[in-house]
Structure 1
């Protein structure tokens, strides 16, 4: 009887058996995965010792019993959303094992699992960064060597921040792995950086960010959603090989780590700080992030950097990572390019073959034990990233993903925009925008003042930063306590509301504190210029008391005025006997009078007295609380200021540009105010980077030093968006706009009389001051007889006498391009000697003469020409000095120009017209160039003499014409060239030196 065929003899039996065996193996392996979360392996972790345990971190040292003598030291830093085991997941992918095998002493910082640590979910980014700084100290002390800091993703960001914070102390070099620096760089997901910022602002504005921590599973899900294609491919490959345990085992611990075991919670305060510092702002690149109360900028890094870039990294794209070379211009930056994605840089097969051998080679090169690895390329020789990968991924996502992101952004914007518009709302805050709107509707009885606005800001958000100076910041809550203490001391010294208190200080935090205290007391601050004529300004300002800083204490008593000194650094032994040290008075021991009420003043009360001019031409500028509030609102709107900005004031605080534009605009908008500590260009660029300055205030020529010098190392990719101020000469304006593009210039004008506030927000018309800001009074330019000007007189009445009227007695409006007097509608002035002009353009109206000459163009934009009192009276008639100086600025090679008159007794008391030019560095000016330039002027307006000279400037950076005038008719001398207008009136002849 024939035997039955076996199963193996049946057709296709082998394939069926193979399938059954595969199904069986898959079932067995799947059961193990379900029971244990994965396959159990016999792989061993690298040995380590927990050297120390702290509130935020633990410090591990790997292979502690096998550290080679004099081994270079590396401290590795992980990102917050994953555990510290990322450096030693399995033997095949272990970074610590690879580095140890190359003779390196390896340490890691472990931030633990915040959800399991006491207070772990209350941590901030600052807590982690300062913990890393402490770890650097500890490792360096234990080993006696500088530390190589290495960090993956956000861990690398911590490395950058700590290196900047420490100014490189005890740090040999930095190595970062896929660590982004520019959060405005293209993203590898279907969301623009702008949309991401909108979502971040909205989430912060909701108030949820600091209160809700993100669990580890949510962090894992969110990260995987950003790269769904790669995640899906990886899972499909794993499932396809589930039958082959031996094939999966080598990467099993890595899979289990990435699928859940390695993800930790993200503390709410830390996540909120991440959004605010690096999504809403771009502080890694632009600067201005804060550790506790200290400002930090990556521009302070000067240690070598190796940045490892994943060319297929879609979480930290190559442009975002490579931005470190722009953020840290002083550092020597090298790049290693690895053709892999984000995590594979440190955990994949290529990491084992390329990343870690190259990193080890870098460390030994830094230790003097080898050559620079050949795979490393100086960052400035790396070509820009080819964005084909990004485009391809976006095509994979398709239109649906773009629509989903756009819909989310639109939904948030629509919901918040029901109140005032999402963009503005989340950037400036509901309360701050509402307050800004109120500043445009201030009645005479409205309670408004500098002190009140600061009080309101401190009540809203005491932790917000009010100003920065040097490398420190002051928060609203601390500033309020300081100001209240000063007020108590002032009350103890007998100061009272309504007094005029003279303040003579350098531009420093003590000056801002003094101004806020005087406002809160209800007095008037008279800002005395440190280089001004003290006696004259005291008399004009009707000062009853004097407050100074240690550097500006009068050597002798000023008549019978009580004098007090305020500010840290005062030497108690060196103070003159007539001076009271306010810092020595304990505010807690002062008995505050029962009548005292903080911030009692109304809109029409006098807030500040400023000064313009010099010598006999010195005059006061009276600023009411209403005018200051209007200026605050106007500056904020014209410059586009929001609570996310930082205003860096180059102008000293006793200048109207600083008081009315920089300080006022910053306080009104909630932006930070940063005070320049020194006018030196090196300090300027260092502080712009450290502060993350988005707006820079100027006055007159204060920007010349940074504009006309060679490029600074910190200048490329600067964060400045707006230069705002007043008096910028047109030639310098053009150079500023060209050199620092795309930053724009916003010129603002505030009249000395009346409440005219003009601004040119676009900056497109160089030299124009634009138009009146919304909420400010109407202005007009009326015909003016220049020959009738007061020529130096400060009398407002004498100014108005030059107004030209028509047959009906009304002021005649100036035609476009014609010079006229600017008048502003208003009922009266804070100055008693200013009389309103009645019935000027219509019956019953009231106007104030500003004393300033303007032109109006065909579009209605206004152009400042000169002050009436600046007119130069020559034998041929009055000359406008700004017209002459503007013409001379057009001469090639001229950095700055001015024009003035010199008295000449031989010319019937008329003045000789003189021009002065300052050449650009290395430039040579010729008489022929001068002649070609001035041909556009009528013969009577061509200067009789032009001198090439170092034009002096005042502390306001305005050309010091008075000093030049005292020199009389210029004569050639060393470093001074003088040209004289020839008899033909067309050419200039260079005068020989004696």
Structure 2
């Protein structure tokens, strides 16, 4: 009898990040290569130099030193050194990307049980395995992440999991996993998603035999403001983590998004969705050099360290987000970012204008001061004395948008006050 074939090792899915990779590599190459082109304009005796082309004041000492080096060390010496440096930097970027793509670490945390489904959306019960969270009277919390990035950043590792920390402290968090839009959901607008949240909230309240609190992170926070406006009696408390509201309060770094928004909305209309690589291009526009800097730092880490492990898991989260349904993309790009309908009290969900000032539900607004994705002034509109939420507590954090949930200081500065506030409801 022939022996059975040996078991095959599980195949790891090839990483595609950082996405879109051609854009990151092209940004670096074109910028570094432009320095060689500039040198041809400014070096002495260059056939294409222009005497009328003034050297920028900041670069004048460098150009003078380079010309002196050429004069004393031989023609082409500086140019050769410049080419070597460009090649070194490109090699370092490529090596950093390859080190990430080939890293053996993958997220292995066991998921909690799924207790509810609607289309491709499901609820994960993070309190199911925690004794304190299962106690009678434990406060249920509906946790709503963004539609753009998946939920795993709230449960990155066993040590850095806001959701598991909430359960360990006696809360019962139910996490919304939006999934990826199926054929029907590709036609969803924001009203459809808020309606789905309404059904999820009703399920959680029925299961807990009492009203639930609601916590929203990033775009999920904006959606939960609408939920609280539509269902004020169902929400025991509203916690908002870096939730954008006034999209014109600070447009620093958002120029590309504002100018390209209508074109991208037309693309989403035709395609039925806004693809992941387009969404990542919008994040690239906030800091085109971020990938170059962070993958260079990653290459210098001990690849077996916790720091390297967390970098890989965060990059996987950033690069594996779902596409955005076409109508949602149009509402966000044109309605939110273009026309600022939220801050103008003109955002209509389920036929009603969403006006924060009319919401009486107790609210906590957490604003990370180092946030580049949601400018602090955008989130702070929800605590404005004239137009913000009525019964609100503001908490400013010396953290970033992602750092408020996964950094080394997140537990002390963000998790603990958030948990205490939710328990007090």
TM over 0.5: yes
Shift of 1:51: 0.7
| Deviations 1:519-554 (CA, angstroms, capped at 9, x unpaired) | xxxxxxxxxxxxxxxxxxxxxxxxxxxxxxxxxxxx
**Would you tell me which structure has more helix in proportion to its own residues?**
2
Could you tell me whether the CA contact under 8 Å between 1:315 and 1:342 is conserved in 2?
yes
Partner of 1:615: none
Partner of 1:82: 149
Partner of 1:61: 125
Output aligned runs, 1:845-924, within 5 Å: none
CA distance in 1, matches of 2:372, 2:345: 24
CA distance in 2, matches of 1:255, 1:295: 36
Q: Which runs of 5+ in 1 are unaligned?
A: 1-26, 367-994
Partner of 1:685: none
SS in 2 for 1:279: helix
Partner of 1:781: none
**Is the counterpart of residue 224 in structure 1 residue 287 in structure 2?**
no
Could you tell me whether the CA contact under 8 Å between 1:290 and 1:296 is conserved in 2?
yes
Shift of 1:183: 1.0
Could you tell me whether the CA contact under 8 Å between 1:151 and 1:159 is conserved in 2?
yes
Output aligned runs, 1:398-797, within 5 Å: none
CA distance in 2, matches of 1:251, 1:330: 36
**Is the counterpart of residue 140 in structure 1 residue 205 in structure 2?**
yes
Output aligned runs, 1:118-129, within 5 Å: 118-129=183-194
Shift of 1:161: 1.1
| Deviations 1:88-125 (CA, angstroms, capped at 9, x unpaired) | 121232111111121111111111022xx232322222
Shift of 1:33: 4.9
Partner of 1:180: 244
- Equivalent pairs counted in the alignment come to 327
CA distance in 2, matches of 1:49, 1:190: 39
Could you tell me whether the CA contact under 8 Å between 2:141 and 2:172 is conserved in 1?
yes
Partner of 1:71: 138
CA distance in 2, matches of 1:132, 1:291: 12
Output aligned runs, 1:943-954, within 5 Å: none
Output aligned runs, 1:130-529, within 5 Å: 130-166=195-231, 168-189=232-253, 191=255, 197=258, 199-201=260-262, 207-212=266-271, 213-241=273-301, 243-261=302-320, 263-326=321-384, 329=388, 331-366=390-425
Output aligned runs, 1:916-935, within 5 Å: none
Over 3 Å counting, the alpha-carbon distance change for 1:357 and 1:230 in structure 2 is farther
Partner of 2:73: none
Shift of 1:44: 4.6
**Is the counterpart of residue 100 in structure 1 residue 100 in structure 2?**
no
Q: Which runs of 4+ in 1 moved over 6 A?
A: 27-32
Could you tell me whether the CA contact under 8 Å between 1:39 and 1:249 is conserved in 2?
no
Could you tell me whether the CA contact under 8 Å between 1:39 and 1:252 is conserved in 2?
no
Q: Which has the higher contact order (CA 8 A, sep 6+)?
A: 2
Shift of 1:197: 4.8
Could you tell me whether the CA contact under 8 Å between 1:129 and 1:162 is conserved in 2?
yes
**Would you tell me which structure has more strand in proportion to its own residues?**
1
| Deviations 1:337-372 (CA, angstroms, capped at 9, x unpaired) | 221222212222222232111111111222xxxxxx
Shift of 1:63: 3.3
CA distance in 1, matches of 2:154, 2:388: 30
Could you tell me whether the CA contact under 8 Å between 2:99 and 2:299 is conserved in 1?
no
SS in 1 for 2:179: coil
Q: Please give the root-mean-square deviation of Cα atoms over the aligned residues, in Å.
A: 2.7
Shift of 1:330: 5.4
CA distance in 2, matches of 1:339, 1:267: 33
Could you tell me whether the CA contact under 8 Å between 1:29 and 1:245 is conserved in 2?
no
Over 3 Å counting, the alpha-carbon distance change for 1:142 and 1:308 in structure 2 is same
Over 3 Å counting, the alpha-carbon distance change for 1:277 and 1:152 in structure 2 is same
Shift of 1:230: 4.3
CA distance in 2, matches of 1:220, 1:280: 19
Over 3 Å counting, the alpha-carbon distance change for 1:123 and 1:289 in structure 2 is same
Shift of 1:296: 3.0
Shift of 1:240: 1.3
CA distance in 1, matches of 2:191, 2:227: 10
CA distance in 2, matches of 1:29, 1:190: 27
| Deviations 1:393-433 (CA, angstroms, capped at 9, x unpaired) | xxxxxxxxxxxxxxxxxxxxxxxxxxxxxxxxxxxxxxxxx
Over 3 Å counting, the alpha-carbon distance change for 1:360 and 1:76 in structure 2 is same
Give TM-score, length-normalised by structure 2: 0.70
Over 3 Å counting, the alpha-carbon distance change for 1:29 and 1:257 in structure 2 is closer
Could you tell me whether the CA contact under 8 Å between 1:80 and 1:111 is conserved in 2?
yes
SS in 2 for 1:59: strand
CA distance in 1, matches of 2:295, 2:389: 44
Partner of 1:439: none
Q: Which runs of 5+ in 2 are unaligned?
A: 1-93
Could you tell me whether the CA contact under 8 Å between 2:383 and 2:394 is conserved in 1?
no
Partner of 1:447: none
CA distance in 2, matches of 1:259, 1:157: 20
CA distance in 1, matches of 2:353, 2:97: 53
SS in 2 for 1:285: coil
Over 3 Å counting, the alpha-carbon distance change for 1:288 and 1:32 in structure 2 is closer
Could you tell me whether the CA contact under 8 Å between 1:78 and 1:109 is conserved in 2?
yes
Shift of 1:329: 4.4
Over 3 Å counting, the alpha-carbon distance change for 1:203 and 1:64 in structure 2 is closer
CA distance in 1, matches of 2:191, 2:290: 33
Q: Of the candidates 175, 179, 190, which is equivalent to residue 112 of structure 1?
A: 179
CA distance in 2, matches of 1:28, 1:280: 39
SS in 1 for 2:138: coil
| Deviations 1:546-582 (CA, angstroms, capped at 9, x unpaired) | xxxxxxxxxxxxxxxxxxxxxxxxxxxxxxxxxxxxx
Give TM-score, length-normalised by structure 1: 0.31
CA distance in 2, matches of 1:318, 1:164: 22
CA distance in 2, matches of 1:295, 1:328: 14
Over 3 Å counting, the alpha-carbon distance change for 1:238 and 1:351 in structure 2 is same
CA distance in 1, matches of 2:262, 2:318: 30
